Structure 1
Amino acid sequence: MIRTIYGTFDGDKWESISQICFKQNFREEGYQEVKATPGDYGIEGFTRTGKVFQCYCPDESYSSNELYEKHRNKITTDLKKLKTYESQLRSFLGDTKINKWYFVTPIYGKNEIVAHCTSKRDEVKSWDLSIIDNNNFEVIFEDISFLHPHLNLAIDSTNQKINLSPNEPITDTDKLKWKGKEITLVENAQRKHSLRFDKNTPNVDKRIDDLTEKTVASFLGGNILLRMWQNEYPTEYEKFLSIVSLVENEVVEKCMFPVQDKNTLYFSFKNLVEEKLNATFPKLEQQMIMNLTNQVLADWILRCPINFE
């Protein structure tokens, strides 16, 4: 599995979604899928305008260097198949000559892969194959953005769950900068978290600080997630705002009545949000549900919807 901002993918899921996007994006160019059986000829499909596509998804998450090596080796191996299976490919292509060979994978490893593509382009041209348009042939590396504008349609039609996630984690520097600008909100969080503890709790100050750190991280990371969701799924995002607003009204009302155990009340709010999100958004992966739930609770702690009496 490999993680992207649009969710997690394995080889089968990536190929399925890529094929849907290729068929939609290149319909007017006569896109034709090439099945992997009875033989793997190194291409997933082609258009009558000379574009050929090969998609690849790593089995697991790798470092940048490791991912670069995986990409480099896969490109090298699959391009050799143009030479090995020239006659078989010519039977598919007919009069069409390949002018662009696309390697489509979820994420980049290193920019050096572009230089490797250029080197392999020149090597393929040197083979002087009958299926290659030597005057215009290019080897092109593309990531998940290449599948737009039909990526969301493909994910939805294959019943794959959505799991958006930011590319980079929230750093201590990010949290410090935000806390420096929002002192009042941080004080709100510290005060409210302190009420969740029994008066005899040991090391309570450190526990309050730790909870406040988690609240800030959930709020900042959740806001990035919400912006991504708004851009990619605006209708679902608006529905989320509506649901959260309704639940918030209920939370505000419940907070008007004093309770003995503030921590139990807090977790009842968390469970309520998670239940509502699961019921409303069945196509979201559980990890995204949890991240959204944590963002909502963090927002309520930093502002005043959760205000323990």
Structure 2
Amino acid sequence: MSSLIDNLSPKEWESYCEIMLRHHYGAKNFWPVPDEDSGDLGLEFYTVDGTIYQCYYPDNNIDMATYKQRIQKKIREDLKKLKSNEEKIAKMIDDVIINQWVLLTPKNRSKDLITYCNKKKREVLKQGISYINEKEFIVKIETADSYPDAKMYASGVYDKSINIPITQVSEQEKKLWKESNSTFLDNIVHKSTKIMGKNSDAFQDNIITK
């Protein structure tokens, strides 16, 4: 049985993660980084406890080898930005010291990715990046299951946002609307009948029930 997360798009996954992490950390301890003005510097979110988050939603239908390659590429390319954007990131996060870099993805399907994260951690530490905690810094893959309460909250919020209930309009309500909007209705009927002919009835009814 597929879950809500299994049916998200990459952009929806990012939105889901933002809702989840904002709830987990609290608004004052959590920063989303906008990407509309020259990108996000390789940070989608960061937190007061020194965590950088990036989100990645891989194709569910790829084989294991391709999956690992794509996850590794995402980790590799985004970690490079910690150094290439060092000055800008340091100014943005101010006095926050980064203790971990986390890739949020729906599932971690391979133990090899844990080994890969450890390798990339050592490579980052060798670069002497000013805002990195050299004693505690780690690179990890996490899923929504790492934040169970916030996951439940985000699923509830997201599910409601895409399942807005539609109120049924009764025949009596339609009649009352027609009586109080007769001039507008006459205009709609005249124009839609002229343009759509016999197919205009459904269009007219749709206008009334909106």
TM-score (norm 2): 0.70
* Aligned match of 2:11: 12
Q: Does 1:26 align with 2:25?
A: yes
Once residues 140 and 101 of structure 1 are traced to their aligned partners in structure 2, the CA distance between those partners, rounded to angstroms, is 6
Alignment deviations for residues 278-299 of structure 1 (CA, whole Å, 9 cap, x no partner) = xxxxxxxxxxxxxxxxxxxxxx
Task: Verify the 8 A CA contact 1:4 1:106 in the aligned structure 2.
Answer: no
Once residues 127 and 152 of structure 1 are traced to their aligned partners in structure 2, the CA distance between those partners, rounded to angstroms, is 38
Alignment deviations for residues 57-109 of structure 1 (CA, whole Å, 9 cap, x no partner) = 12452122211111111000000010111111111111111111111101123
How far the C-alpha of 1:153 sits from its partner, in A, is 2.3
Aligned pair in 2 of structure 1 residues 6, 129: CA closer, same or farther (>3 Å)?
Answer: closer
* Aligned match of 1:42: 42
* Aligned match of 2:116: 116
Once residues 125 and 21 of structure 1 are traced to their aligned partners in structure 2, the CA distance between those partners, rounded to angstroms, is 29
**Letter of the 1:119 counterpart:** K
Alignment deviations for residues 153-187 of structure 1 (CA, whole Å, 9 cap, x no partner) = 223323246xxxxxxxxxxxxxxxxxxxxxxxxxx
**Letter of the 1:111 counterpart:** K
Task: Verify the 8 A CA contact 1:121 1:138 in the aligned structure 2.
Answer: yes
Once residues 101 and 29 of structure 1 are traced to their aligned partners in structure 2, the CA distance between those partners, rounded to angstroms, is 20
Aligned pair in 2 of structure 1 residues 104, 95: CA closer, same or farther (>3 Å)?
Answer: same
Pairs within 5 Å for 1:28-177: 30-38=29-37, 39-158=39-158, 159-160=161-162
Once residues 51 and 29 of structure 1 are traced to their aligned partners in structure 2, the CA distance between those partners, rounded to angstroms, is 14
Identity of counterpart residues, as a percentage? 26
Once residues 44 and 104 of structure 1 are traced to their aligned partners in structure 2, the CA distance between those partners, rounded to angstroms, is 10
Number of residue pairs the alignment of both structures matches: 159
Pairs within 5 Å for 1:216-295: none
* Aligned match of 2:191: none
Higher relative contact order (CA 8 A, sep 6+): 2
Which segments of 5 or more consecutive residues in structure 2 lack a partner in the other structure? 164-210
**Letter of the 2:126 counterpart:** S
Aligned pair in 2 of structure 1 residues 34, 6: CA closer, same or farther (>3 Å)?
Answer: closer
Alignment deviations for residues 21-47 of structure 1 (CA, whole Å, 9 cap, x no partner) = 111111287111111221131111111
Task: Verify the 8 A CA contact 2:106 2:144 in the aligned structure 1.
Answer: yes
Once residues 130 and 6 of structure 1 are traced to their aligned partners in structure 2, the CA distance between those partners, rounded to angstroms, is 36
Aligned pair in 2 of structure 1 residues 37, 128: CA closer, same or farther (>3 Å)?
Answer: same
How far the C-alpha of 1:4 sits from its partner, in A, is 5.2
Aligned pair in 2 of structure 1 residues 87, 68: CA closer, same or farther (>3 Å)?
Answer: same
Once residues 52 and 134 of structure 1 are traced to their aligned partners in structure 2, the CA distance between those partners, rounded to angstroms, is 15
Aligned pair in 2 of structure 1 residues 12, 89: CA closer, same or farther (>3 Å)?
Answer: same
Once residues 157 and 128 of structure 1 are traced to their aligned partners in structure 2, the CA distance between those partners, rounded to angstroms, is 40
**Letter of the 1:84 counterpart:** S
TM-score (norm 1): 0.48
Deviates more, 1:52-61 or 1:124-133: 52-61
Deviates more, 1:132-141 or 1:52-61: 52-61
Task: Verify the 8 A CA contact 2:5 2:13 in the aligned structure 1.
Answer: no
**Letter of the 1:145 counterpart:** D
Which segments of 5 or more consecutive residues in structure 1 lack a partner in the other structure? 162-309
